[in-house]
Amino acid sequence: MNNVVSLFDGLSCLQIALNRQGISYNNYFASEIDKHCIAITQKNYPNTIQVGDVRSLNLPMDIDLLVGGSPCQGFSLMGNQLNFDDPRSNLFFEYLSVLQDLKPKYFILENVKMGKPIQDAISKLIGVEPIEINSALFSGQNRRRLYWTNIPNVAQKLEASRSELGLIKGISLLSDNSYEMATVRKGNPRQIVRPATDKLPCLTASYYKGVNADGRPGKAKSFGDYEVGKIEMLSPVECERMQTVPEGYTEGVSKTQRYKMLGNGFTVDVIAFILSCIP
């Protein structure tokens, strides 16, 4: 690829995914305003071209890949669901503007699970329906996200690879009634719960809701041994593992900032899987 553009680049999970998938690129343009994220990106990828605020961009006309996950707080079912009335989620239109004006060869838009009306509105504007992917296929967490993309055959390859992915990663897929992954931020309690099967251990991070997911005694093993129902604070390295970010990648800033950027970032292996479908 020649030009790759990442809007709301965060800690540059897209670059990790591109490199993990063996996709070369000449220029990587990152739109990010958080100084801590920029510092981590430049530490790991010093050739990154930082282009600043998404609302005032100067980008090349020929883009091979456009990727972004606009702030999700207004869309999230866990929030007030202000949707486009939330100024953070309103930044989606900046992504849409770049998509419509520069017409990249391939694009990916990531966001949280949301109400069906707003999901349909975004789909109509983007021109494709989203694919729901749970990070549990790729890591030890329940993290359901929507991915709008024009990369072909992603849904078909995902379905064909579903059981293989789970077996390769050693991840048990939890039921829809289990805990959901919460944003990884310092101060939120984490509960380590027993996996749905004794053969494929899984660590799930969540907001604490009082009891363990299935009520069974025993221990869950993933990054360590944890008593079922015991509240634990995950370390930054454990959060890196859950997001399939290389261990130590976010070192260099405070723990608070590491938790924040990891919680806001992509699950790298999910993006790498989508990129693997590029013809």
* Domain parsing of the chain, residue ranges: 3-171+267-275
pLDDT at 30: 98
* Eight-state DSSP code of residue 83: G
**Closest among 22, 43, 45, 88 to 6, alpha carbons compared:** 45
Beta carbons of 90 and 70 less than 8 angstroms apart: no
Backbone angles phi, psi at 104, to 5 degrees: -65, 155
pLDDT at 178: 30
pLDDT at 81: 46
Backbone angles phi, psi at 44, to 5 degrees: -90, -30
- Considering the segment(s) 3-171+267-275 as one domain, its CATH architecture is 3-Layer(aba) Sandwich (3.40)
Tokens representing 121 are 């509105």
pLDDT at 139: 80
Beta carbons of 187 and 161 less than 8 angstroms apart: no
- Quick one: the chain helix, strand, coil %, rounded to 5? 30, 15, 50
H helix or E strand, kind and range, residue 239: helix 236-242
Q: Could you confirm whether 37 is annotated as catalytic?
A: no
pLDDT at 82: 45
User: What are the distances in angstroms from CA 134 to CA 45, 89, 146, 246, 250?
Assistant: 28, 21, 9, 20, 23
Task: Give per-residue burial for 189-199: e unless 16+ CB within 10 Å, then b.
Answer: ebbbbbbeeee
Q: What is the pLDDT along the chain (279 residues), one digit of tens a residue?
A: 999 999 999 999 999 999 999 999 999 999 999 999 999 999 999 999 999 999 999 998 999 999 998 875 544 444 444 444 554 467 888 999 999 999 999 999 999 888 888 899 899 999 999 999 988 788 877 788 999 999 999 999 998 887 676 544 433 333 232 333 333 333 333 433 333 333 333 333 332 222 233 433 333 333 333 344 444 566 788 778 888 999 999 999 998 899 889 888 999 999 999 999 999
* Eight-state DSSP code of residue 91: G
pLDDT at 83: 46
pLDDT at 117: 86
Q: What is the CA radius of gyration of the chain?
A: 18
Amino acid letter for position 75: F
Residue 34 burial class via C-beta count within 10 angstroms: exposed 0-12, middle 13-18, buried 19 and up: middle
Beta carbons of 54 and 94 less than 8 angstroms apart: yes
SS3 54: coil
Please tell me the distance from the alpha carbon of residue 231 to that of residue 207, in angstroms, as a whole number: 10
H helix or E strand, kind and range, residue 272: helix 268-275
Catalytic residue among 72, 202, 239, 277: 72
Full-model pTM: 0.76
